[in-house]
Amino acid sequence: MQADYAIIGGTGVYDPAMLENAERHEIDTPFGKAHVTIGTYAGRRVAFMPRHGYTHSVAPHKINYRANIRALKQIGVHTVLATAAVGSLKEEHRPGDLLLVDDFLDMTKSRPTTFYEGAPEGVVHIDLSDAYCGRTRNHLLETAQAQGIAISNGGVYVCTEGPRFETPAEIRLYSQWGGSVVGMTSVPEVVLAKESEMCYATVAMITNYCTGISKHPLTHAEVVETMRDNVQKIRELFFHAIER
């Protein structure tokens, strides 16, 4: 059981059908079990992990992020390409657009956020000046340009606890703080990948304007529909990025 790359599929990205000779595995880690499908993609060994489970049954605050990232580390993954459905705080990031996020604001409340809780692993303070791996982001950007896939480069992902959507006041605050998009899952995933010394990048798909910016109440159905209509762009981008 081995893979070099992993794709972590967020909301609307559950289908490992793009992998050839795919096999499902359950991986034991010190933090619990994780589920991956491992196969060949663009000639390389790739692990696919649906973040919310294959049937979207795990809520954002209940995801076992440590088991997921440790499992990928155990099977040899060096680069993780993650997708994320996000709401937009900015007029210019429209539903259906792609954004390569390069920083985050952590508004989560109840999640284990580190592999290092003290003895016996010790206490570790990692540097996050390049939270989402710059080298992997550049590679994705160059791939998108070569394939004619439109993507914005750079933005701040505000990670909320969920599973509820935000209030208008929260959204006003996140805008003032310099956020670009809002989602519920990038933290602690990106942090744990960094602690594991893996290259990790997120391609965010804008699925809606955030609460108070949008003219209508937000629903999960809106998020899923926008994702479904545009997910092919992410598949293509990841395929070519792994192939190059």
Binding status of residue 157 toward ligand HPA by CB under 6 A: no
- Measured distance CA(1)–CA(74) in Å, rounded: 9
77 binds ligand HPA (CB under 6 A): no
**152, 196, 202, 207: which one binds ligand HPA (CB under 6 A):** 207
Among 36, 54, 83, smallest CA distance to 235 is for 83
Angstrom distance (rounded) from CA 184 to CA 38:
26
- Backbone angle region of 32, left / alpha / beta, with phi > 0 → left and psi within -120 to 50 → alpha: left
Nearer to ligand HPA, 132 or 165 (CB): 165
Identify which of residues 37 and 207 has a Cβ nearer to ligand HPA in the complex. 207
Stretch of residues binding ligand HPA (CB under 6 A), selected from 48-56, 160-168, 187-195, 230-238: 160-168
b (16+ CB within 10 A) / e for 129-143? eebbbeebbebbbeb
Residue 164 burial class via C-beta count within 10 angstroms: exposed 0-12, middle 13-18, buried 19 and up? exposed
Q: Does 210 bind ligand HPA (CB under 6 A)?
A: yes
Q: Which CB, 125 or 216, lies closer to ligand HPA? A: 216
* Closer residue to ligand HPA in complex, CB, 100/218: 218
| In the complex, minimum distance from the CB of residue 80 to ligand HPA, in angstroms, rounded to a whole number | 19
The residue within the footprint of ligand HPA, chosen from 223, 231, 234, 242 (CB under 6 A), is 223
The piece of 38-46, 114-122, 130-138, 204-212 that touches ligand HPA (CB under 6 A) is 204-212
If one counts every other C-beta atom within 10 angstroms of the C-beta of residue 113, the result is 15
Site mask for ligand HPA (CB under 6 A), range 20-59, x = bound: ----------------------------------------
**Which span (23-31, 65-73, 206-214, 230-238) binds ligand HPA, by CB under 6 A?**
206-214
Instruction: Determine contact, residues 2/76, Cβ cutoff 8 Å.
Output: yes
Q: What is the largest CA-CA distance in the chain?
A: 51
Q: Where in 167-186 is the site for ligand HPA (CB under 6 A)?
A: 182-184
Interaction of residue 165 with ligand HPA, rule CB under 6 A: yes
Q: Are 213 and 171 in contact (CB under 8 A)?
A: yes
Only one of the segments 61-69, 94-102, 158-166, 187-195 lies at the binding site for ligand HPA (rule: CB under 6 A); that segment is 158-166
Q: Are 206 and 225 in contact (CB under 8 A)?
A: no
84 close to 202: Cβ distance less than 8 angstroms: yes
What are the helix and strand counts (H, E) for the chain?
5, 11
Size of the site for ligand HPA (CB under 6 A): 14
**Residues in contact with ligand HPA by the rule CB under 6 A:** 85-87, 160, 165-166, 182-184, 207-208, 210, 218, 223
